[in-house]
């Protein structure tokens, strides 16, 4: 391997482990480059990437147009303060609002920051009705407020005391949501249209429209966390379009920069005007480099019809997973290119992930022992078939 600093893969892993705080359960692979849906490790082994940085690299790896857009912007201006205006930011803001139908936005650097901005906007708008209802098994980020919003105790328990004002109801349970909104203290409901980390949990088709109706009746804001579901992943630009529901606030991140960190909080209606100067901010958020990347990603997404492609490929992929599910008595779940294979108790998801990696396929295991597939939107049928065939072979032999 060509590397001046480290003699081999183990040296890189050891150096990282020695230096980095112990928060990641990493796989023993050092990735060095990628092209399309392929990535290569430091020893030259090739993998097909069905994880895409967890739903991030929507254009695939090594996109020369994206690299060119980033390089061109870097030569001109990488960063200036939000005290000043820049053209890439103006362009991104305009495009995102045009494509989404929202009225205002705020740009930041990550998913958690986008959710934080949404929580702060909701509190600013709703004033004393500061409480926010979220769903059990949801995931909204790692900052103190977003992990309190997250409906999974394992993430928040070590950090008590947690910020007040969050409660959790079962996802896809309208009665529980109705009960949670009865006391007049709730200002907003925050939901992922499809839960990602929680195990690709899709709601019944009428759940989100009914929650939206309930929110309107109670004058409660509806916030959709579209960080994983957005940017075409479900075969529509936003997953809320799949369900025919328009929230008051939506947040994007992951795919927006095609791998360059950027997040967005979009709001419509009265709440969009709730922030006043000084209420919120960010040093890096919406800087020209990240905006140039996101502008290129959005242009490509629409010019190359990648959203429609994701919808079509997603149908093919789901059918292929359903075939495996039928054969091995499992359940295939998801929409578009946000798919899962629910393993139940007969298989160990972690072990399957390791064995698939050895066979040259990157996947991961989300909540509820569910294998998660969130590949680049450019993934092809050949890659899907190869991955599913390899998985079938494993499922045949690994049955507990
Ligand atoms: C639905 C959802 N919300 C929020 C986040 C947090 O995003 P980030 O890791 O960029 O802070 C994630 C990350 O996986 C996510 O899937």
- Decide if 14 is catalytic: no
Contact assessment for residue 332 and residue 341, using Cβ atoms and an 8 Å cutoff: yes
Residues 325 and 201 in one domain: no
What pLDDT score was predicted for residue 348? Answer: 96
CATH code, 93: 3.40.640.10
> Ligand 1 pocket test: which of 58, 111, 223 has the largest number of ligand atoms within 8 Å of its C-beta?
111
Helix (H) or strand (E) holding 355: helix 349-358
Instruction: Per-residue pLDDT tens, the chain, 400 aa: give them.
Output: 555 799 999 999 999 999 999 999 999 999 999 999 999 999 999 999 999 999 999 999 999 999 999 999 999 999 999 999 999 999 999 999 999 999 999 999 999 999 999 999 999 999 999 999 999 999 999 999 999 999 999 999 999 999 999 999 999 999 999 999 998 899 999 999 999 999 999 999 999 999 999 999 999 999 999 999 999 999 999 999 999 999 999 999 999 999 999 999 999 999 999 999 999 999 999 999 999 999 999 999 999 999 999 999 999 999 999 999 999 999 999 999 999 999 999 999 999 999 999 999 999 999 999 999 999 999 999 999 999 999 999 999 977 5
Residue ending a domain, among 303, 333, 360, is 303
Q: Residues 312, 274: one domain?
A: no
Q: Are residues 56 and 87 in the same domain?
A: no
Q: Which of 225, 243, 248, 328 is catalytic?
A: 225
Q: What total of structural domains would you count in the chain?
A: 2
Instruction: Please confirm, yes or no, whether 254 is among the known catalytic residues.
Output: yes
Please indicate, yes or no, if residue 71 is contained in any of the structural domains: no
Check whether residue 126 and residue 24 sit in a common domain: no
- Could you tell me if residue 4 is inside a domain? no
Domain end among 246, 274, 303: 303
Domain extent at residue 193: 77-303
pTM of the model: 0.98
- Judgement on whether residues 324 and 375 belong to the same structural domain of the protein: yes
In a domain, 1, yes or no: no
50 with 92, same domain: the answer is no
Residue 299 forms part of a structural domain: yes
SS3 for 269?
coil
Task: Evaluate whether residue 68 is within a structural domain.
Answer: no
**Looking only at Cα atoms, what is the longest distance across the chain?**
64
| CB atoms inside a 10 Å sphere around CB 90 | 12
Residues 146 and 181 grouped into a single domain: yes
Instruction: Tell me, yes or no, if 24 is annotated catalytic.
Output: no
Distance from residue 323's CA to the centre of ligand 1 (Å): 30
What is the distance in A from the centroid of ligand 1 to the CA of 204?
23
Find where tokens 């960190």 sit: 261
Q: What is the CATH number of the domain that holds 355?
A: 3.90.1150.10
pLDDT score for 3? 53
CB atoms near residue 22 (< 10 Å):
6
Q: Retrieve residue 131's tokens.
A: 């409480």
197 alpha carbon – ligand 1 mean position (Å): 9
Determine the pLDDT at residue 183: 86
Q: 234 with 245, same domain?
A: yes
Of 272, 303, 334, the last residue of a domain is: 303
């Amino acid at each position: 391997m060509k590397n001046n600093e480290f003699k081999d893969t183990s040296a890189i892993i050891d150096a990282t482990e020695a230096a980095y705080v112990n928060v990641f359960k990493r796989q023993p692979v050092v990735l060095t480059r990628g092209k399309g849906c392929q990535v290569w490790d430091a020893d030259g082994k090739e993998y097909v990437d069905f994880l895409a940085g967890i739903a991030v690299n929507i254009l695939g790896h090594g996109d020369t147009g994206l690299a060119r857009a980033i390089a061109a912007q870097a030569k001109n201006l990488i960063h200036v303060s939000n005290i000043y205006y820049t053209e890439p930011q103006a362009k991104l803001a305009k495009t995102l609002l045009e494509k989404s139908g929202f009225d205002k936005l705020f740009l930041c650097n990550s998913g958690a920051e986008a959710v934080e901005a949404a929580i702060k906007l909701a509190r600013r708008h709703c004033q004393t009705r500061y409480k926010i209802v979220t769903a059990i098994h949801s995931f909204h980020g790692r900052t103190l407020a977003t992990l309190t919003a997250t409906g999974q105790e394992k993430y928040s328990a070590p950090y008590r005391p947690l910020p007040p004002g969050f409660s959790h109801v079962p996802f896809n349970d309208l009665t529980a949501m109705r009960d949670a909104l009865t006391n007049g203290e709730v200002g907003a409901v925050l939901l992922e249209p499809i839960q990602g980390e929680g195990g690709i949990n899709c709601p019944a088709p009428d759940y989100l429209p009914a929650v939206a109706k309930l929110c309107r009746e109670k004058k409660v804001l509806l916030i959709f966390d579209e960080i994983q579901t957005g940017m075409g992943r479900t075969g529509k630009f936003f997953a809320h379009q799949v369900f025919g529901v328009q929230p008051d606030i939506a947040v994007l991140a992951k795919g927006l920069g095609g791998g360059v960190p950027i997040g967005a909080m979009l709001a419509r209606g009265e709440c969009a005007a709730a922030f006043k100067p000084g209420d919120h901010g960010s040093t890096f958020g919406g800087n020209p480099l990240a905006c140039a990347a996101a502008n290129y990603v959005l242009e490509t997404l629409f010019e190359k019809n990648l959203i429609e492609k994701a919808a079509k490929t997603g149908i093919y992929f789901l059918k292929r997973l359903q075939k495996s599910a039928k054969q091995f008595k499992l359940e295939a779940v998801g929409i578009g290119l946000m798919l899962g294979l629910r393993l139940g108790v007969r298989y160990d998801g972690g072990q399957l992930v390791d064995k698939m990696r050895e066979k040259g396929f990157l996947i991961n295991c989300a909540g509820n022992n569910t294998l998660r597939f969130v590949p680049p939107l450019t993934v092809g049928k050949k890659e899907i078939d190869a991955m599913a065939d390899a998985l079938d072979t494993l499922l045949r032999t690994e049955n507990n």
